[in-house]
């Protein structure tokens, strides 16, 4: 069964802290994505990666960076957390083969920045 | 990227057929239409994807008219467990850069 896991379900950090959110997929997918979800706004794409060490900005990359050193792992980094980054963060992966490019999502990390 | 418009919420009763329509007036030639379902405290789950006409799987049907400026997700005989948020997405499914815009989705509430 396909699986995307995220390092934490809930995380509480203080303003100014450096925050790492980890995502691991076991499906050998080429593409990986980071979204944030806020009430009334749906999911917004932060960054995505289509290969190891490759990354592209999504719609709201400001305040975030990413790292993909291995194919199965995609990390989201908040260099200096701020209260407006309190949100649900969702990781997803997809394959470049197959007919649907379906994205598989992890359970999400609810981050609170105090 | 084409923007989508869908109703904010819908109510239904168990056993009814539910149709959720999505408008995407600026859809491009290479764009596919994809629908996802999301339950509380979970990530979205792929339901169905299509390019034109009608697509059906074990979960839903997707109707796309010839001009492709809208699409309708049809859920047959819904149950309480179909209460969820449904997202319509339009995007180029090119493997190297599948950028997606999820929007706010449609919150479906199924009543007994």
Residues of chain B positioned with their CB less than 8 A from the CB of A96: 95-96
pLDDT digits (tens, 9 = 90+) for A1-31: 669 999 999 999 999 999 999 999 999 998 8
The stretches of B32-104 forming alpha helices (DSSP H) are none
In sequence order, the β-bridge partners of residue B31 are: B92
Q: How, if at all, do strands A10-13 and A109-113 pair? A: parallel
Q: Is A48 touching B (CB cutoff 8 A)?
A: yes
- Reported as a pLDDT band with limits 50, 70 and 90, residue B28 is confident
Q: Is A41 touching B (CB cutoff 8 A)?
A: yes
Which pLDDT value is given to residue A2? Answer: 66
Burial of A28 (0-12, 13-18, 19+ CB in 10 A): exposed
pLDDT digits (tens, 9 = 90+) for A33-43: 999 999 878 88
Q: Which residues contact A18 (CB under 8 A, 6 or more apart)?
A: A77, A78, A79, A80, A81
Closest residue in A to B97 (Cα–Cα)? A50
The answer to whether B101 contacts A40, with C-beta atoms less than 8 Å apart, is no
The answer to whether A41 contacts B101, with C-beta atoms less than 8 Å apart, is no
pLDDT of B37 above 50: yes
Out of A42, A90, A92, the one facing B105 most closely (by C-beta) is A42
- Distance CA(A56)–CA(B50), nearest Å, equals 26
- Distance CA(B9)–CA(A77), nearest Å, equals 34
Question: Which residue is associated with the tokens 């059906």?
Answer: B56
């Amino acid at each position: 069964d396909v699986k995307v896991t995220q390092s934490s379900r809930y995380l509480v950090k203080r303003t100014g802290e450096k925050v790492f959110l980890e995502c691991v997929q076991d499906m050998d997918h080429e593409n990986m994505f980071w979204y944030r979800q806020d009430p009334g706004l749906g999911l917004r794409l932060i960054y995505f990666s289509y290969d190891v060490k490759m990354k592209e900005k999504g719609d709201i990359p400001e305040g975030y960076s990413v790292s993909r050193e291995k194919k199965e792992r995609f990390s989201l980094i908040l260099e200096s957390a701020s209260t407006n980054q309190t949100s649900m963060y969702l990781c997803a992966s997809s394959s470049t083969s197959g007919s649907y490019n379906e994205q598989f999502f992890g359970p999400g990390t609810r981050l609170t920045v105090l | 990227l084409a923007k989508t418009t869908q109703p904010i919420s819908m109510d239904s009763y168990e056993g009814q057929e539910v149709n959720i329509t999505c408008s995407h007036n600026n859809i491009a030639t290479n764009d596919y239409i994809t629908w996802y379902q999301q339950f509380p405290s979970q990530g979205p789950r792929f339901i169905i994807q299509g390019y034109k006409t009608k697509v059906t799987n074990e979960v839903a049907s997707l109707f796309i008219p010839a001009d492709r400026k809208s699409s309708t997700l049809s859920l047959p005989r819904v149950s309480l467990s179909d209460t969820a948020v449904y997202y319509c997405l339009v995007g180029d499914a090119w493997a190297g850069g599948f950028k997606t815009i999820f929007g706010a989705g449609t919150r479906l509430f199924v009543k007994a």
